[in-house]
Structure 1
């Protein structure tokens, strides 16, 4: 009898345990189906040296640059340069036919010389009272008038010659021997290439952080990985009333003449002091009107010890530097933060971390053509 009762109890106990075990399994399966583990990529929050930067885009211009032309018309008689030459101040570049003007200058010079002779003779005569002072005064006036005419003609002859107004590199000439040039026709461009100016605009809020002499760096797509240095040389004293931006000009060294006027540039200006801040890739930040947040991998998922869980944390962001953003609060150095796959997550979601295809976050990412 006792054995039968024990057997019956064992059977009912086993059934009860099996029912509870089955219910638990079903509950876990349903829970895992409603909140499956998501595959994400993560990065470890790092504490790095951080300095705020102002960024802008600008254009290079020559300190001295001009399209050279002549003030008068005429036929090209001589060309004394080749396209692309480097020239010095005062170097003769082109001459127009000036034979007629030179002949007229010689005639006017002869007249001037004759007036000088007459003046000297009359002065000698006036000393012995042979001529009046009025005659000498007339001679002096004639000399001055003749000298003015000679100077005027010299200027006319000089206008037939094109000279380099400053040191620089010539462009491609657009005039040929024997060609008739009208006044003002561009012959060649001349650009002084070292140093260069880079002009850019910044919002008016940046004015308090700018000063003449402040260091800047500039990069161009033509030379990836190369940085050009310079200093702010001028800040426009007027803010544009439409855009509320202020124009800034910096002088950039260009000893090897790698940069050319008209090039597009990215300008960076370091401002403030160096700080120790936690940084994360920008892709980690979930931007919302009610606050920015990130997902931090924190412990095991509830009811799913095989997977890690995430915790949503609100953060305050600082400046941006390339792919990275500074975090002023909410995350500490060493936290493992989700940087890809966060859109599918919620607080407590189980995750599978896969960092096999995570690109590096760079402070100065290079632009490449694919």
Structure 2
């Protein structure tokens, strides 16, 4: 019985040894296959880095401002007797807007004009008598002073009447009416806003390092959400002589034509100053760039001999680059890439350095400098 158990144990040990040997052989074969295994090449789309000449732009943000804009207010206290304008309408310089009650001033003016007429008669009489030496020079001077005083009194009353007859100081478009007929206006009471909208200013800021590049007369391009898809052009007309000590920015002002008055003061605008000399750049699709916090990179497609069969094959080489401006689907490469090199144009996030690839551009997207995607 003991011998039977002994031989059974020996048989089990032998069986386990045989199974272990078989598994060890299988694992060894799998390791050997893994060492010799090479993944199939990845299918990629490519684009060629091309030299181009791009216009240089200095971007900024700004706001629109009327060339002339004012809140028309009352200069003197008085009751409104006439409102001669309609809200939102265009007016010309000198057009009547509001008339205040001037009855008391008109009565005083009549008295002042009568006094002026009497002073003029006395002055003329005194001048004749002085020529005849019938009066003294002091009496003539007194008549002259009385005439001038009467004229000044009448002119002062006329000025009060003019100040209560409120007119448009310049041509422009009126805003909302802020007064009512019969309302008692005090000095400084707002009546209506008046804005000259054509042309219109756009004010924006640029960092101090751009001062040497910017000058009056340069073209600016303006885009605003109020006019989607449209780009307006203007000219730089003023540059502030001082730099803001807090932000180190300089204030720039450009003038735009606004014949349809679609641009209004207070609007936000994206501004780009166009430099006069185009800049040579190396251009690649922006989708070819693998963006990373430490540095951006691209995958260059190069031809190398295969290590297994010695035949030429396409292999990726990761190249770090420094990017510049962007236009549409393209990005400018400042350094790290040369004209004519081929880079992977899409799907770069799934690639690695040294990976073998095959090129298939049948499904490659069309890259444009001014893309207009359809609204699907």
Which category of TM-score, normalised to the shorter sequence, fits these structures? 0.7 to 0.9
Correspondence 1:274 to 2:281: no
Deviation at 1:276, TM superposition (A): 4.0
Deviation at 1:66, TM superposition (A): 0.6
> What is the Cα-based RMSD across aligned positions, in Å?
3.3
**Partner of residue 10, structure 1:** none
Pairwise mapping of residues 51-200 of structure 1 onto structure 2 (< 5 A)?
51-200=55-204
5+ long unaligned stretches in structure 2: 1-25
Residue number among 327, 337, 341 corresponding to 1:321 in the alignment? 327
Q: For 2:232 and 2:124, how far apart are their aligned partners in 1?
A: 66
Q: For 1:368 and 1:239, how far apart are their aligned partners in 2?
A: 44
Deviation at 1:239, TM superposition (A): 0.8
Deviation at 1:339, TM superposition (A): 4.6
> SS in structure 1 opposite 2:98?
strand
> Greater CA deviation, 155-164 or 174-183?
174-183
5+ long unaligned stretches in structure 1: 1-18
Q: For 1:217 and 1:328, how far apart are their aligned partners in 2?
A: 24
For normalisation by structure 1, the TM-score amounts to 0.82
- Tell whether the 8 Å contact from 1:224 to 1:366 is kept in structure 2 after alignment: no
**Partner of residue 208, structure 2:** 204
Q: For 1:220 and 1:132, how far apart are their aligned partners in 2?
A: 78
- Tell whether the 8 Å contact from 1:225 to 1:366 is kept in structure 2 after alignment: no
Deviation at 1:275, TM superposition (A): 3.8
**Partner of residue 14, structure 2:** none
Q: For 2:179 and 2:145, how far apart are their aligned partners in 1?
A: 43
Q: For 1:147 and 1:101, how far apart are their aligned partners in 2?
A: 15
Change (3 A) 1:353 1:189: farther
Correspondence 1:227 to 2:227: no
- Tell whether the 8 Å contact from 2:218 to 2:275 is kept in structure 1 after alignment: no
> SS in structure 2 opposite 1:193?
strand
Deviation at 1:62, TM superposition (A): 0.9
> SS in structure 1 opposite 2:33?
helix
Deviation at 1:270, TM superposition (A): 1.8
Deviation at 1:163, TM superposition (A): 0.8
Deviation at 1:225, TM superposition (A): 2.2
- 1:222-250 deviations in whole A, cap 9, x for unaligned? 21222211111111111111111111111
For normalisation by structure 2, the TM-score amounts to 0.80
- 1:300-340 deviations in whole A, cap 9, x for unaligned? 887799x9642212334333335532124433455443354
Q: For 2:115 and 2:303, how far apart are their aligned partners in 1?
A: 106
**Partner of residue 26, structure 1:** 33
Correspondence 1:293 to 2:297: yes
- Tell whether the 8 Å contact from 1:295 to 1:313 is kept in structure 2 after alignment: yes
> Greater CA deviation, 290-299 or 225-234?
290-299
Q: For 1:102 and 1:119, how far apart are their aligned partners in 2?
A: 25
Residue number among 338, 348, 355 corresponding to 2:344 in the alignment? 338
Q: Point out the structure with max Rg over C-alpha.
A: 2
**Partner of residue 241, structure 1:** 245
